[in-house]
Chains A and B, each alone.
Chain A
Amino acid sequence: MRNMFAIAKRELQSFLVSPIAYLVTAAFLLISGLYFWFTLNWMVTYRDIPTVRYTVEFMVVVFVFAAPLITMRLLAQERRMGTLELVLTSPVKEWELVMGKFFAGFALYLLMVLPTLLYPLTLEIFGNPDWGPIWSSYLGLLLFGAVLTAVGLLASALTENQIVAAVLGVAGNLLLWFFAGIPTYDPSSSPRLIQILKILDLRQHLDTFLSGALDTRDIIYCLSMTAFLLFVTTRILEARRWRA
């Protein structure tokens, strides 16, 4: 556990001195802020109920592309610099490294999301929003962040090239995002397959969070998906020690 915190702390410190963290955060806040402003105009013009639903949905879509930019360096960089060899010849277990990296990536994700709480606060000041769906939307954002970070971390474990890790991460996220859509184009796909892919489909689970209807199935989906991805990442790091 101590190793995990040490690794997470070091990673976060390195993040905060690297320009990429600030670039990604700034770009994210800029475009999500613009989007919120659009929805705000729209809500005012059509006298619609004040909501952050569309903005949060948009933020998740942005993170499908942005999260891999945060996570790409996590393990790929260590592999390239050779520090992976140093860490894994210290008395550190692979899962401690993976969890440490995950929490560092997730913490940065939280730092990026935190300022967007200004959006619902703006609604509170100028309108009378329903806080139920807002909290559930943000809980969804949190849990989706965990899944997307875990996807990116897995991608980062596969290569020593950060660009490759980013591309793999985006591809993985898109796959999860469009899972349910894939077999529906193929009339011959079995209904059971469509059913399974619908469960795996990220977007399906987002909708309930956004509508304010908290469903434990969605929470369990996010948590188990994250756990599964972290488990696979750990196994990838351990694979070098498997005897043929």
Chain B
Amino acid sequence: MIEAEGLTKRYGPVTAIENLTFRVEKGEIVGFLGPNGAGKTTTMRVLTGYLPSTEGTARIAGYDIFTQSIEARRHIGYMPETVPLYPEMTVRGYLHFMAEIRGVKDRRRAVNEAMELCHIEDRANDIIATLSKGYRQRVGLAQALLHRPDVLILDEPTIGLDPRQIIEVRELIRELGQTRTILISTHILPEASQVCTRVLIIHKGRIVAEDTPAGLSQRLQGAERLAIQVARPAPEVADALTAVPGVRAVESAGDGRYEITSTPGMDIRTAIAETVVRGGWGLLELRPVGMSLEEIFLQLTREEPASQEESHA
């Protein structure tokens, strides 16, 4: 479990993170989402005890990261953004060393298990310097799993991987998340919605939104939207759809596609389908459109400059 209370970190006059309060429970995968420079890495460095917070406290598995640092660190598996490795060592040698300083008793087994989990057994005896970016990333991940930590903190775990590896790593994170507490950071929005059970959107060092990926889009949507496609578009389609009770607006996207905004709380799907069928236009597709995380994100962060301008004025 990760508990952060009012975490603030200032570097001289620069405030990197401000008053962050959040909890990550066991079995949760929480995504820390934000643009570069939002304070994600700083937060992780504070949570892992590498840097002290200027104000506020954080507890890992119940241990205060500042006053009970060593105890807390035993419970953390951390993969920093840069994936620090010793390039002159072999994969096995490196993992063995990391297991040793983490106080793992049965190191042989721990190393083998971690390599198996991250699918790097085939390169166990290779020098790290000769590995591709994808393998290095997975060695970094394996390193974080060696001591079977209950808390995993992963900074941009899929950066630099090819699409197939990204899917593999995401699957691995989901799998691990069932029995552990995981905090990952990412600036890739689909990743957060695919992997995480909950998302914290961080912008300029503050949490601007916190919810499940689905909940976030619902909350921000305001009105519900449907996308339909018909086989034989006709000029009267849009008018006929607008006439359906509950429809607020219809937008034609061309090629027989229409986007329909409806009054929240009303399910207009059957009415829409019936209208299209009655008109004989041939219904090809009908689906609800959630607001994508990209849109939510832009909406949340776009407000910031405006309010700053106001305060200047």
Report A's interface with B, CB cutoff 8 A: 2-3, 6-7, 10, 13-14, 17-18, 81-93, 240-244
Contact = CB atoms under 8 A, between A and B. Distances in A.
A89 B49 contact: yes
B96 to A, nearest CB: 9
B102 A90 contact: yes
Given A86-B80, A89-B73, A90-B73, A6 B88 contact: no
Given A86-B80, A93-B70, A243-B52, A6 B100 contact: yes
Contacts, number: 73
Given A91-B102, A243-B52, A244-B54, 12 more contacts: A13-B89, A14-B89, A81-B87, A82-B84, A83-B84, A83-B85, A86-B78, A88-B50, A93-B70, A240-B50, A240-B51, A241-B51
A85 B81 CA distance: 11
Contact of B78 (A2, A10, A81, A89): A89
Nearest to B79: A86
Nearest to B74: A91
Given A10-B97, A14-B89, A82 B82 contact: yes
- Can you list the 3 inter-chain pairs with the closest CB atoms, starting with the nearest? A82-B84, A83-B84, A6-B100
Nearest to B146: A90
Given A7-B101, A92-B101, A243-B52, A86 B88 contact: no
17 contacts: A6-B101, A7-B101, A10-B89, A13-B93, A81-B85, A85-B45, A85-B84, A89-B48, A89-B49, A90-B98, A91-B71, A91-B74, A92-B101, A240-B50, A240-B51, A241-B52, A243-B52
Nearest to A242: B52
Interface of B: 10, 45, 48-54, 70-71, 73-74, 76, 78, 80, 82-89, 93, 97-98, 100-103, 143
Contacts of B74: 91
A81 B51 contact: no
Contacts of A7: 101
Nearest to A15: B88
A85 B80 contact: yes
A84 B78 CA distance: 13
A244 B51 CA distance: 12
B100 A14 contact: no
Given A86-B78, A243-B52, A91 B84 contact: no
Contacts of B143: 86
A136 B87 CA distance: 41
A2 B101 CA distance: 8
A86 B76 CA distance: 11
Given A83-B84, A83-B85, A89 B101 contact: no
B48 A91 contact: no
B151 to A, nearest CB: 12
Contacts of B76: 89
A17 B50 CA distance: 30
A124 B310 CA distance: 89
A9 B135 CA distance: 25
B64 to A, nearest CB: 13
A10 B86 contact: yes
A91 B78 CA distance: 12
Nearest to A93: B70
A104 to B, nearest CB: 13
B87 to A, nearest CB: 8
Contacts of B85: 81, 83
A243 B54 contact: yes
A90 B101 contact: yes
Nearest to B10: A244
B244 to A, nearest CB: 58
A83 to B, nearest CB: 4
Contact of A81 (B70, B86, B102): B86
A14 B73 contact: no
A88 to B, nearest CB: 6
